[in-house]
Structures are given as C-alpha cells and as structure tokens.
Amino acid sequence: MRSVALVSALAAVAAASPAGAVPQKRQTSITPITVKGNAFFKGNERFYVRGIAYQPGGSSANIDPLADPKVCLPDIAKFKKLGVNVVRVYSIDNSGVSHDECMNALADAGIYLTVDANNPKYSINRETPAPSYNHAYLQSVFAVIDEFAKYDNTMAFFSGNEVIHDEPETTLSARYVKATTRDMRAYIKARGYRQIPVGYSAADVTDNRRQTADYFNCGTDEERSDFFAFNDYSWCNTDIVTSGWDQKVKNFTGYGLPIFLSEYGCTANGRDFGEIEALMSKEMTHVYSGGLMYEYTMEENKFGIVQITVPKDDPKDQTGARKELPEFANLQKAMSKYPAPKGDGGFTSNTKAQDCPPKDDKWLIEGSRLPAMPAEAKKFFDNGAGKGPGLDGPGSQWAGPAGSEDENSDSGSADQGDDNSSAASLHKAPLFVSGLVAMFTLVGALAL
C-alpha cells in the first residue's frame, strides 16, 4: 500500500511540474532564501547578507574554489571563524565536476552562496554585446544553474558583473544582460527548479547607477530582476554621511526590490569595516539587505585578508597554507560587534516596478525592448543544458552573428505565451511547488 501511494504521489508531482522539468533531490539541508517585497527572508525571518567575496587566485586565475575540497574546506573553517553567512564565487566549473562536498560543508556551517553565472570566457562583452549574447553563452549559463539549483544554500545567481561601466556606450550592453536575466529566470521555471533569485551586480558609477537600477526593475514581471546589487567602494573608514551612503539610501527608498552590496571594502584609509555597523542599522535596513566584503584572499589588487601560499610554478594551486592577515581580525570583530538586527528591519512587503530610464547622453537605451533569446537556445528549456564547457572551453563572446538575434525582436522571452519559455514573477508560487510540497507531505506520512 505504501509503495502504491508513493507512486501516486510522484505521478501527481509530475503532472504539476512544467513540461520537461526534472525535479532534483535536495543536496543540502538548510532553509532556502526567498524574496518578499524589498528584502530577503529565511523562512519567516529577515535575512541580511553578511558575506565575503571568495576568488582564490583572482579573476585572472579563473578558478572554481568549490570544485576542490582541498581548497574550500580550510577556507570554510575561516568563514565560520569570521561569522559570515554568504560567500560569492565568481567562476564555476560547469563541466560535470562535483560540488557536493564543498556545498554541503558550507550548508553545515550555515553559509549560503551567491553564484556568478558568467566567467571571463563566457560573458557579455560590454564593447560588442550583440554577438556575445548567443546559444553557446546561454548553454554555459544554464549549465551553472543546473549544477547549483539542487543546493538549498544557493541563495542567488548573478547574471552579470560590472558589464555596464562609466563610458556611455557600455550602457547599450544592459539590454543583453537584462535579456540574460530574463532567460535565466525563465530557465529556472521551465526546468522545475525552486525559485532562486536572479539579479545583476553593477559597478558604482554615479552617471548611470540609478538608471541601471531602474532599467533592471522596469518592464514586465518576466523581464524584471529579482534583486539589484552594486559594488560600492565609497566608504573609506569614514561614516554614513561622509561616504554618501545616506544619500544612496534616500535615492533607493521605494525602489521595490531587495538591494545589497555585491562588493564593498575600500582600502584607501585602512579598514575597520564600519560599513557593517551602517548596513545593520535602522538608517539602512529599510532599503538595504547587507553586503559582501571584498575579498577573502590576498591577490595583486591588495584587498584580501588571508594569504594563501602558492607555488611559483603553479599559480592555480590554491591548496597551500592559510595565513590570517591583520584585517582578518578587524572583520571578525566587526561581524561580532554588529550582528543582524532583530525584527523585519522596516522592509516594504510589496514589490513594484520602476519606469524605464529615459534616453540621454549618459544612458543610450530607449524603452524596454529586449533581444529575443537565440533560437538555438530554446532546446535547453526542454532538454536541459547538458554538460557545460567548463572554465577552459573555447569561449562564447564571438559565437553569435553581430546583431542577428537583436533585429525585429520584442520584449519578453523567445516564445511569447509559451509557459515554459517565460519566467513567472518570483513572487508568484508556481503549481510545481504545490505539487512538490504535497509529495513530501505524503512521503513523510507513508514513512510513519
């Protein structure tokens, strides 16, 4: 009788799942992070990002630190000592290597992951964005999602990092990053994964900061991001007023989506990490949801707080001894001294869209029109992305014809009206979730 009932439950879930979806067994045991209004939540508890950027070897090394337990495990011990609850990883090997041991160790430590879905070889080119938005690029992005959607401590995916910069021409790349965001959200839905937030990590450029934020939160629910993050190095051991953070809070009040700092940690005047006190204060928590200190390992740019001994003949070998630098203790002290506040922090329970920014000499995009998803990428929605190219693949930035996918395309996903190729709003629970909850409830009852 138990086996018959279990088969019936599984059949019910299959009927409730989107076509082609393959619900995956959870690989970690931790409460997933969700979005409510303009904040993140862990169950019914407000969640603040109190994290650190994790990029051993720096961007040039292009290393996945979660693919090798000999790298991640000693660092996770340091993360626990620091008291961080989120790490950001910039490069992921999506070629089939297992991340189970590192992700489970992070979960056991109560630590979540924000994942950059791009890497230096597979990303949108800010100078020539059209040909870099292609099926090979999306296959790599979707393969990252396939690998990390199974972990409950995957907090969020970044669809891009500092693609839009201080030159006005780079704002044209925003259309392609936003299209990627749309496609990622649509893919997550089509594959029947839980609702994992997707958003953009922006550069802190005064000329286009607000335009960028508004652009990623304008248009239809399918096109809008689930959060907005930006890298901010304006606090240099000062205070909330001198740094200008008070004005940024004022400017982003009423924005309608969660906001957090995807990088912070100016080194120009020493670092006592007073940013944490401000981020956890009532002056900011009604708008901001914390931030990620840049960065964990000491690299050529001199932002790190831990030195890894690296062989001269193999700079990618990050398994050497770890030495805590003086600023490690400073961050540990600040994390302990300024804990996450109790209560809801004054968040806004409702989300809302912004108007798309008008075209001007600093922002060169007019309206909300997005490129259509490349036709060759549609098959991934039904079949999955398959094995990704990894970090040593040929690259994708010139894999598409310049402008061909952009011509005569409308906003939204590739197939308008097809429920498997357009993302639902993150704040609307799909039928799949209800079916999955029902299955687990029944399975638990049958086990009694």
Give the active site residues.
162, 263
Query: How many residues are recorded in the chain?
Result: 448
**DSSP annotation of 172:** G
Radius of gyration of the CA atoms of the chain, in A: 21
Phi and psi at 87, nearest 5°, equal: -125, 150
Neighbour tally for 75: CB within 10 Å: 24
d(Cα 190, Cα 231) in Å, to the nearest integer? 31
Please spell the DSSP secondary structure of 253-308, one letter per residue: TT--S-EEEEEE---BTB---THHHHHTSTTTTTTEEEEEES-SB--TTS--SEEE
Distances 92 to 36, 121, 122 between C-alpha atoms, Å: 28, 11, 11
d(Cα 192, Cα 199) in Å, to the nearest integer? 19
* CA 329-333-334 angle, 5° bins: 120
| Distance in Å from the first CA to the final CA of the chain | 13
Distances 406 to 218, 326, 401 between C-alpha atoms, Å: 19, 50, 10
Torsion of CA 422, 428, 433, 438, to 10 degrees: -140
Phi and psi at 203, nearest 5°, equal: -75, 150
Distances 270 to 281, 354, 411 between C-alpha atoms, Å: 22, 37, 46
d(Cα 219, Cα 410) in Å, to the nearest integer? 12
The single-letter code of the amino acid at 209 is R
Neighbour tally for 179: CB within 10 Å: 28
Residue ranges of E strands in 303-430: 306-308, 322-324
Report the relative pairing of strands 227-232 and 45-47 from DSSP bridges: unpaired
Please spell the DSSP secondary structure of 407-434, one letter per residue: TT--SS-SSTT-TTSSPPPTTS--HHHH
